[in-house]
Amino acid sequence: MARSDQRNGGQLPVTPPTLADVAERAGVSRQTVSNAVNNPDLLRPDTLERVRQTIAELGYSPNRAARNLRTRTSSLIGLRFAPAQEGTANAAMDRFVHSLVEASEEVGYHVLLFPGDDEDPVVGYDNLLRSTAVDAFVVTDTYLGNPQAAWLSQQRAPFVAFGRPWDDDEARHPWVDVDGAAGIRLATQHLIDRGHTRIAWIGWRKDSPIGEDRRSGWTQTMHDNGLSTTGLASRVEDVVHSGAEAAAVLLDSARPTAFVCASDTLAMGVLHTLWIRQLAPGTDVAVVGFDDSQVAQVFPVGLTSVRQPLEDVAVEIVKALRALLSHQPVTERGVLLEPTLAIRESS
């Protein structure tokens, strides 16, 4: 019985048709069918047409495993999927992952998710790498001291980072990042344009290079506009409670009319303090957050927030990935994208 006889109604065949089935049915060799799929230019138009017809009739699709084995590729991109931290507003990961899935699909890749082992952050990468389960990785958590990028580099594993190699001058891997300082400059200038002069900053602790970078956007814009920053800054942990406290302290001491925050989480804290003090956000005191999280969007008084162009980030990452995997000469090590400002009622 020919393989193609195993089809049954509208259902999928018991065992899907193979290249050989298509070849036999179309009266060509297997290689010709392969070419019709992968190098259509090599076929005469009429042959191509006939083969394509047969492929459609049989519902043929190349077996991934066989192709992967032969080509030593998987068309899979590995991404460690860490959960959004409970109690914080940052759900940027979700948006980014979706963008990455979309962008990958465009060029024939799929995204493979794997969990992170807290004790050994490298074990997940190692397993996938050694079993050649993925072609490359996208590394998202390039925080200070993260060993993954360095480890992957040392293994000569292809990967692109979302995030600059802040602490590592030796890093030679491609990366894509969002210019946080530029985002905060946008936010600060926006507030200045609205007439504010006493604009406070609530950011993270000093050991966060991302936080310091964002902070510099505030400092710079203030100074560029001839405004003082003295006594207007606070560095706290990234939780609502800390943001609220910092806002209370600043309101009592420096009496700012506006707050720029390193995150939406902190901005929520500010809004809480305003609420307690019967101050109207946007009217009495302006507030700007960072990440344009769902919280910013859904909050009754819409929170103005810096929005990362995650869709573009994903596109750039996939672009870099392709260059990496096709061994093209690397033109640029890093790409820095500009965020935008989602303006709402809070400013």
Q: Which residues contact 11 (CB under 8 A, 6 or more apart)?
A: none
Annotate each residue in 38-57 with x if it binds a second copy (CB under 8 A) or - if it does not, as one string. Answer: --------------------
E strand residue ranges, the chain: 76-80, 110-114, 136-139, 159-162, 175-178, 199-203, 233-235, 258-261, 286-290, 304-307, 334-337, 340-342
Can residue 67 be called a binding residue for DNA (CB under 7 A)? yes
Q: Which is nearer to a second copy, 55 or 181 (CB)?
A: 55
Residue 60 or 299 with smaller CB distance to DNA = 60
By a kind-dependent CB cut-off of 5 to 8 A, residue 272 interacts, out of a second copy, DNA, none, with a second copy
- Cβ nearer to a second copy, comparing 103 with 222: 103
Q: Quick one: 160 exposed, middle or buried, by C-beta within 10 A (0-12, 13-18, 19+)?
A: buried
Answer yes or no whether residue 76 interacts with a second copy by CB under 8 A. yes
Q: Does 123 bind a second copy (CB under 8 A)?
A: no
Stretch that binds DNA, among 55-63, 92-100, 150-158, 241-249 (CB under 7 A): 55-63
Report the nearest approach of a second copy to the CB of residue 93 (Å). Answer: 7
Token pair 């000469």 in the structure block, residue: 329
CA distances from 219 to 112, 185, 214, 215, 294 (A): 41, 9, 9, 6, 27
Asked if residue 91 binds a second copy (CB under 8 A), the reply is yes
Determine if 69 is a binding residue for DNA (CB under 7 A).
yes
Using CB distances below 5 to 8 A depending on partner kind, what does residue 114 bind out of DNA, a second copy, none? a second copy
299 makes contact with a second copy (CB under 8 A): yes
Quick one: CA torsion of 123, 124, 129, 132, rounded to 10 degrees?
130
Task: Note whether 273 binds DNA by CB under 7 A.
Answer: no
Q: Dihedral, CA atoms, 71, 75, 80, 84, nearest 10 degrees? A: -170
For a second copy (CB under 8 A), the number of binding residues is 67
CA dihedral 246, 251, 252, 254 (to 10 degrees): 100
Give the one residue of 6, 12, 53, 63 binding DNA; rule: CB under 7 A: 63
Q: Does 129 bind a second copy (CB under 8 A)?
A: yes
| CA pair distance 94, 205, nearest whole angstrom | 25
340 touching a second copy, by CB under 8 A: no
CA distances from 264 to 7, 9, 132, 230, 259 (A): 55, 54, 39, 23, 12
CB of 89 to a second copy, least distance (A): 5
Stretch that binds DNA, among 17-25, 212-220, 233-241, 270-278 (CB under 7 A): 17-25
- Fill in the DSSP letter of residue 115: P
Name the nearest CA neighbour of 88 among 242, 274, 199.
Answer: 242
Report if residue 43 touches DNA, rule: CB under 7 A.
yes
285 touches 267 (CB < 8 A): no
Give 31's Cβ-side CA count (13 Å radius): 1
Query: Hey, what are 285's tokens?
Result: 């005191």
DSSP strand pairing (76-80 vs 110-114)? parallel
The window from 74-82, 178-186, 253-261, 329-337 that contacts a second copy (CB under 8 A) reads 74-82
- Residue 37 interacts with which of a second copy, DNA, none, CB < 5 to 8 Å by class: DNA
The site for a second copy (CB under 8 A) is made up of: 10-12, 16, 59-66, 68-69, 72, 74, 76, 81-84, 86-89, 91, 93-95, 97-98, 101-102, 105, 110-115, 127, 129-133, 154-157, 240, 244, 264-265, 268-269, 271-272, 275, 293-295, 297-301
- Please report, as ranges, the residues that interact with DNA according to CB under 7 A: 15, 18-20, 27-32, 34-35, 37-38, 42-44, 47-48, 60, 62-63, 66-67, 69-72
